[in-house]
Amino acid sequence: MSEICKVSAERQGDIAILLTDGYINNQGGEEIAREAYAQLDSGARALLLNLEKTRIVNSIGISILIEVLERVMDRKGELAFCGLTPTIDKTFRIMGLAQYAKVFPTQEEALRALAVAGRGA
């Protein structure tokens, strides 16, 4: 059995939207990181991770997301999340991820906020 997380990406200007589908473990986290770094290297200023199709992120997956966040912060970019289940939201808060990345209920709200932040940059 394989539960590898699928990651798809689209761009809206300098914002890259990464949509995950499935369990985020070490493999899923690495898949997200690979796509995130590709987007950053091709000029994305902000990353939005939409997790609405993911119900479990384990602590290894979150540790990889933290590495992605650190790279984004090094580049003075932004990382935001949306579509979190209450359990994922709680886990992000326990591990401190929500202290450094913004969390929005929906993709639309996240995109509005990231666009405004980009205009102020």
Residues that bind another protein (CB under 8 A): 1-3, 23, 25, 55-60, 62-63, 66-67, 70, 85-87, 90-91, 94-97, 99-100
Smaller CB separation from another protein, 32 or 66: 66
CB of 78 vs another protein, minimal distance in Å: 16
Minimum distance between the CB of residue 75 and another protein, rounded to whole angstroms? 16
Amino acid at residue number 118 = G
Shorter beta-carbon distance to another protein: residue 10 or 70: 70
The smaller minimum CB distance to another protein, of residues 70 and 109, is found at 70
How buried is residue 48: exposed, middle or buried, by Cβ count under 10 Å (0-12/13-18/19+)? buried
Proportion of the chain in helix, strand, coil states, percent, rounded to 5: 50, 25, 25
Instruction: Give the end-to-end CA distance of the chain in Å, rounded to a whole number.
Output: 45
CB of residue 61 to another protein, shortest distance in Å: 10
Least Å distance, CB 63 to another protein, is 4
Residue 63, amino acid: S
Q: How far is CA 114 from CA 6, 89, 93, 109, in A?
A: 24, 19, 21, 9
Residue whose CB is less far from another protein, 11 or 53: 53
